[in-house]
Structure 1
Amino acid sequence: MNDTADLVGILRAAGETTRLRLLALLADGEQSVKDLTEILGQSQPRVSRHLKLLADAGLIDRNAEGAWAYYGLAADGPGGDLARWLIARVSPDDPDRARDRQRLEGVRLQQAEQAAAYFAKVADSWDLLRKLHVPEEAVEAAIVAALHGRVVDTLIDLGTGTGRMLELLAGHYRRGIGIDASREMIAVARAKLAQCAIGHAQVRLGDIADLDASAGRADVIVIHQVLHYFDDPGRVLLQARRALKPGGEMLIVDFAPHALEFLRTNHAHRRLGMSEAQMAGWARAANLSVAGLETFPPTNPAEGLTVCLWRLIDETDRPR
């Protein structure tokens, strides 16, 4: 329990129009200073000052990633609790709130369009590009080992790209579904699956950050080198959670934290890797637990990236 002075400080930090708007935006997912500046229509120094006050009061958390920083509501403590209590009482019809949400959707749409343009450009050479900085053979062997001896009813590959995971794991599912937002990637994936005579898998166009129910629910969900293309990976995990059967599991492959800014400017990355603590927090928010983590250091430490394989499980009705 915090003392009176601490609580007064938290209330003072939250009790200002712009800062309350920031809290409401961060309730919709993690955001960068750049995006918050664009949404609010205020200068970067001013937005940064407001964010610092909120962070100092424990209302929000700050995660630095290279030259950028991402902010989200505090996961724990009285500050985060108070922020959620306040936001729940902001009317969705409030003009500022409605305008901010509209601009947030505009920012997300712009990011999605930039990513789609990039993926359209690299679709044909995607598998080759993925191998430039990662120990792909070791990672793929670990993914197969995670399903060793098992054949599940349904596997869903979110952000399937060229369908490599559906191809790799073809012997471990009776029905496979790959979902991707890039028409070019889907076209390549369909051609590859046909070439490999994998008839029990299909790919479809869809937004993995806004999943519909048409794919049904999966025993296993794979998210391979996808989350770093999103500002808020936790939001993607929450969406994926809706498509997971009780007792199901997710296999998440992504980079460990790094500082290669050129991946943002040249390759459409939004996040510079994910830490153990971040993944644990996102999993917890989705009512999942981290059952395992394997790391794969690069073959060339001067140029490469460390790759992580997380296994997340849903304990609900899980066989003992």
Structure 2
Amino acid sequence: MSSTLKSLRALADPTRLRIVALLEREALSVNELQEITRMGQSRISTHLGLLQEAGLLQSRREGKRAFYKWHENADSTAREFIELAVRGAKEESHYAGDQLNLKRVVARREQQAHVYFNQVAGRFDRSYGPGRSWQAFGHLLLRILPPLVVADLGSGEGLLSELLARRCKKVIAVDNSEKMVKFGAAKAKKNGLKNLEFRHGDLQSPPVESASVDLVILSQALHHAEEPAQTIVAAHRILKPGGQVMILDLLRHNFEQARELYGDRWLGFAESDLYHWLETAGFKKIEISAVASEEQPPHFQTLLASAMK
């Protein structure tokens, strides 16, 4: 049977005309079509199957539900038949009532979204949302970066280094723990990150050539350094002219247990200390601000400092 005859046969039924008219602008599920038309599930499913078989409808799955709509790739003849069918459906007694019910169903969908966002307003950034993770945000932000050469000082096992390596030209991860370096290097090799190199060394004299990198990152690492000021001088040494340093660290606090719990040498830093060390090391365009504050005790606050060589 030709596609033209299949289309004509599929549309030669008032119930199928009714369904096609409802799917003119909205993709609807079987349950929604049931609610709008007051017809049984099996009856609707049968008619949808015939319309799909004729190439007039397509469906997409979302979890356990399938949503139906006009076929995007229907040929011009089939689309003309559908449009004629909708014109005919508009003359049927059911049309006005179906359109009112359709508006109600669509409005309820929108209302459900509004209810959710109204409920979490004021705590949205602390509420779980599928797919809304800092790792995902990190990948998004990395797309902004040009392909740089980066030194990640105090990298640990390389969580941030791995993320950077997926975008940057080269990443040099430096840590003073041989075990961390060994683990990070093995993980990078396993993940095929040939542009990520782990090096063992301390933060005050990192094993990185002078004027060789575009960006130096110290992410929650400076408070582990024996000499924070000297570490910033070292960052200046390895940066190319016009390069940038970025420091994420804790604002000064009084949680003494951090020394035992996390191996911290310093209980965070005052903004003035960071500014002084950066300026003394020769950095320009220094910017420092608090960017995060934890709700749970001891209420750690995070500073972000950036500066140019």
- Give TM-score scaled by structure 2 length: 0.52
- Note if 1:242 corresponds to 2:237: yes
Matched with 1:305 is 300
Matched with 1:267 is 262
The offset of 1:190, in angstroms, is: 1.2
The offset of 1:239, in angstroms, is: 1.1
Could you give the per-residue CA deviations for residues 261-286 of structure 1, whole angstroms, max 9, x where no partner exists? 01123432111111111111011011
Whether the 8 Å contact between 1:177 and 1:215 is mirrored in structure 2 is no
Distance 1:182 1:275, change over 3 A: same
Distance 1:303 1:237, change over 3 A: same
Tell which deviates more after alignment, 285-294 or 249-258.
285-294
2: CA distance between counterparts of 1:201 and 1:157?
10
Matched with 2:160 is 165
Matched with 1:221 is 216
Q: Which aligned pairs between 1:68-147 and structure 2 lie closer than 5 A?
A: 141=137, 145=141
Matched with 1:179 is 174
**Structure 2 gap ranges (5+):** 1-132
| SS of equivalent to 2:179 | helix
The offset of 1:293, in angstroms, is: 2.9
Could you give the per-residue CA deviations for residues 208-244 of structure 1, whole angstroms, max 9, x where no partner exists? 2123454861101111111111243111100111000
**Structure 1 gap ranges (5+):** 1-136, 315-320
Distance 1:212 1:196, change over 3 A: closer
Q: What is the CA RMSD across the aligned residues, in angstroms?
A: 2.5
Whether the 8 Å contact between 1:229 and 1:269 is mirrored in structure 2 is yes
Q: Which has the higher contact order (CA 8 A, sep 6+)?
A: 1
Letter in 2 for 1:291: E
2: CA distance between counterparts of 1:213 and 1:189?
18
* Aligned mate of 1:189, from 184, 190, 201: 184
Distance 1:162 1:144, change over 3 A: farther
Could you give the per-residue CA deviations for residues 89-140 of structure 1, whole angstroms, max 9, x where no partner exists? xxxxxxxxxxxxxxxxxxxxxxxxxxxxxxxxxxxxxxxxxxxxxxxx6599
- Give TM-score scaled by structure 1 length: 0.50
Matched with 1:43 is none
Aligned residues: 176
1: CA distance between counterparts of 2:136 and 2:231?
22
> What percent identity do the matched residue pairs reach?
24
* Aligned mate of 1:295, from 271, 291, 303: 291
Matched with 1:258 is 253
2: CA distance between counterparts of 1:278 and 1:144?
32
Distance 1:222 1:170, change over 3 A: same
2: CA distance between counterparts of 1:197 and 1:291?
36
